[in-house]
Structure 1
Amino acid sequence: MAALDLFGRRWSLRVVWELHEGALGFGALRRRCGDMSSSVLRQRLVELMEARLVHQTPDSHYDLTALGRQAHTALSPLVDWSATWAAELAEHSSDHDTATADAPDIP
């Protein structure tokens, strides 16, 4: 349950996702994460480092540890599922839009 608590915190998964391709400095990581504030990013990095999923390199970049890479690998099926889910939602939405467009106007 601790892992679900950690990954359930806003932006935690995003940090892991952004680091899966390699180490990033704080500024570059923040830019990749978009709207995340510096203070929230700092807090998430501290939490992920305490959980031993992220470490800071000698040049002050952040990178996934071996455990962090395993976490990313474990979460990959969720990414695949989310693409299927998004497609299903889009299909359902377009079906609904078509049905609404075909409905007669009732005053």
Structure 2
Amino acid sequence: MTKQPASGKVRGSRTERPIMGLLDLLGRRWSLRILWELRDAPLTSRALRTACDEASPTVLQARLTELRAAGFVELGDGGGYGLTPLGRELCEMVMPLHRFAEKWRR
């Protein structure tokens, strides 16, 4: 399992451009979906897996580990996963893209 380096390096690249590191992390399977499903409220592992169309538990846990290491997701006291303030800020940044996608789909 590959953790997102704090430097923002992209897997298989020598670049340290933060935008490329972020896009690499968000481009991994299920990463954006996890953030999207957590945008309104924390979810337990099981509820998150259900919300993610029964994603593989192994892959889901790998992504949660990466998103936690990146500072976007945290494990709450009650055992559920939720967004950190940085994760909420990222979701707010994605919302204009979501609105555009909805318009484009029509």
TM-score between the two structures when normalised by the length of structure 1: 0.79
Matched, 1:80 2:88: no
Give the Cα–Cα distance (whole angstroms) in 1 for the partners of residues 94 and 67 of structure 2: 15
Of residues 25, 29, 35, the one that matches 1:6 is 25
Q: How does 1:1-107 map to 2 (within 5 A)?
A: 1-87=20-106
RMSD, aligned α-carbons: 0.8
Cα offset for 1:10? 1.2
Cα offset for 1:35? 3.6
Q: Which amino acid is the alignment partner of residue 82 of structure 2?
A: D
Q: Number of residues paired by the alignment?
A: 87
Uncovered stretches (5+) of structure 2, i.e. residues with no partner: 1-19
- Deviation string for 1:25-60 (max 9, x for gaps)? 000000001041101100010000000000001221
Q: Which amino acid is the alignment partner of residue 59 of structure 2?
A: V
Q: Which amino acid is the alignment partner of residue 13 of structure 1?
A: L
Give the Cα–Cα distance (whole angstroms) in 1 for the partners of residues 97 and 21 of structure 2: 18
Q: Which protein is bigger by CA-based radius of gyration?
A: 1
TM-score between the two structures when normalised by the length of structure 2: 0.79
